[in-house]
């Protein structure tokens, strides 16, 4: 099985999820989204495949979330902010042939591996 993880190496949940996938013998493609960035189309598809809205997938604990006033923004405005500031996307997302999950909690990836 192959998987893609949208990974932030500074995030302990992201590191633990990557380790879980590798320990399961899964061939993992690592996408460091903070340096590669996102397109609006990528995020729209990722969230739809995971069954989430942009509001559900935004990092509310990120200082930038408050600074940009995203709590009162539309999903469209949140998506725009996520494209401009990739750090606003919750992490990690994992994609396999069986589906897409936000690994929070980490065990949610077990549904797609």
The residues carrying an active-site annotation are: 11
Reported as type and span, the H/E element at residue 60 is: none
DSSP, collapsed to helix, strand or coil, labels residue 104 as coil
Q: Is the distance from CB of 28 to CB of 3 less than 8 angstroms? A: yes
Furthest-apart CA atoms within the chain: distance in Å: 43
């Amino acid at each position: 099985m192959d998987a893609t993880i949208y990974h932030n190496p500074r995030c302990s949940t992201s590191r633990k999820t990557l380790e879980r996938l590798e320990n399961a013998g899964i061939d993992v493609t690592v996408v460091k989204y903070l340096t590669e960035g996102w397109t609006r189309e990528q995020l729209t598809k990722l969230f739809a495949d995971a069954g989430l809205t942009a509001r559900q997938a935004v990092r509310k604990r990120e200082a930038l979330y408050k600074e940009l006033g995203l709590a009162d923004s539309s999903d469209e405005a949140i998506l725009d902010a996520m494209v401009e500031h990739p750090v606003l996307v919750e992490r990690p997302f994992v994609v396999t042939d069986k589906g897409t999950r936000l690994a929070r909690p980490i065990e949610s990836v077990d549904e797609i591996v």
